[in-house]
Amino acid sequence: MAHSPVLIGTRGSALAVTQTTTVANALSELGGFDVELVRVRTEGDINRAALSQIGGTGVFVAALRDSLLRGDCDVAVHSLKDLPTGAADGLTIGAIPGRVDVRDALCARDGLTLAQLPEGARVGTGSPRRAAQLRAARPDLEVVDIRGNVDTRLGRVAGLVEGAPGDLDAVVLAAAGLARLGRLEMVSEFLDPSVMLPAPGQGALAVECRTADAAEGPLSRALAAYDNNAARLTVTAERALLNRLEAGCTAPIGALATVTEVRLHLEAVVCSDDGAKVMLRSAATAELDEDGARALGVRLAEDLLAAGAASLTDLAVS
């Protein structure tokens, strides 16, 4: 084992391979071992149905986890926002690297901002969270359900990608994914979290490994060194909220934690999924430690439940 490379599992999409390569290089450098990428196809890549209809959470994740548990890879790299909040038997999140831009980004034709889009403009997103917040900001927009990888979605915007005719005025994508793919020039506006709260965990990666390998050895040391405290605290708070609401990554819930000098601040929104312009938004702060972060997420979730969050969206069914 000592001389064989550490096998790093990844989905096959351009975004996944880009972010996994970043992680693999960092771990190799920190741990002084060789790494090798292992591509794993996931249900989310194969199934073309609308993401919200594939059923259950973690469609991008299950195959990578199976591969870890079988020993086909030693480490799996996930986009954190795609990772179900429940613990996986025998697996541990060994590292959460520093977060990149957490915001959602509007990629519109002709450089238009959200405010500049003409009345009735067609905006594509497959995310109920983005759809609800778009409708709240601009009730006149026509929100169009789209799927596909980042390039496919950008190609839907008229005049944005050469050779793609495009049938939409804009799409909304995570700035993080666009940045990792070198496509930030497609962004016409970075949406402020006061308008569009990102998904819990957006802009963060999870480096998962077998629990037994997290305890000792070069891989465990590399993971510990790669872990970023602010990223772990903010993601812990956001995911504790999501978990308490018993919701998954397709629920119309936004959450963003930020570290101020001495406190952790968490803001969240629960949207109604019937297209009505109803949202519940709340915020709270806590001490800067992992228990405090978890408690903060639970507390804010309970505030939202007390305010009627469960009547806005079907929270128990992910």
Ligand X SMILES: NCc1[nH]cc(CCC(=O)O)c1CC(=O)O
Q: Which stretch binds ligand X (CB under 6 A): 172-180, 213-221, 260-268, 305-313?
A: 172-180
Q: Does the active-site annotation cover 82?
A: yes
Binding mask 187-216 for ligand X (x = CB under 6 A): ---------------xx-------------
Nearer to ligand X, 213 or 238 (CB): 238
Which of 11, 81, 135, 232 touches ligand X by CB under 6 A? 81
Residues 312, 128 contacting (CB under 8 angstroms): no
Q: How far apart are CA 297 and CA 308, in angstroms?
A: 17
Question: Among residues 280, 278, 232, which one has the least CA distance to residue 257?
Answer: 232
- Pick one of 79, 92, 220, 282: the residue that binds ligand X (CB under 6 A): 79
The residue among 201 and 297 lying less far from ligand X, judged by its C-beta, is 201
- Regarding 177 and contact with ligand X (CB under 6 A), the answer is yes
Shortest Cβ 149–ligand X spacing (Å): 8
| Contact with ligand X (CB under 6 A) among 77, 160, 174, 271 | 174
CB of 227 to ligand X, least distance (A): 17
315, two tokens: 């929270």
DSSP class per residue in the chain: -TTSPEEEEE-SSHHHHHHHHHHHHHHHHHHT--EEEEE---HHHH--S-GGGS-SS-TTTHHHHHHHHHTS-SEEEEEGGGS-SSPPTTEEEEE-PPP----EEEEEGGG--TTTSPTT-EEE-S-HHHHHHHHHH-TT-EEE---S-HHHHHHTBTTTSTT---SBSEEEEEHHHHHHTT-GGG-SEEPPTTT-PPPTTTT-EEEEEEHHHHSSSHHHHHHHHH--HHHHHHHHHHHHHHHHTT--TTSSEEEEEEE-SSEEEEEEEEE-TTS-S-EEEEEEEEESSHHHHHHHHHHHHHHHHHTTHHHHS-TT--
Which range of residues in 21-29, 62-70, 79-87, 220-228 is near ligand X by CB under 6 A? 79-87
Give how many residues touch ligand X by CB under 6 A. Answer: 9
Does position 176 interact with ligand X (CB under 6 A)? The reply is yes
252 in contact with ligand X (CB under 6 A): no
To the nearest whole angstrom, how small is the minimum distance from the Cβ of residue 76 to ligand X?
14
CB of 1 to ligand X, least distance (A): 31
Q: Tell me: does residue 250 bind ligand X (CB under 6 A).
A: no
x/- mask, ligand X, residues 32-71, rule CB under 6 A, reads: ----------------------------------------
Catalytic residue (choose from 74, 82, 104, 273): 82
Q: Is 103 in the site for ligand X (CB under 6 A)?
A: no
Q: How far is the CB of 130 from ligand X (least distance, A)?
A: 8
Look up tokens 């519109």; give the residue. Answer: 108
Task: Give the catalytic positions in this structure.
Answer: 82
Give me the residues that bind ligand X (CB under 6 A), please.
Answer: 79, 81-82, 173-174, 176-177, 202-203
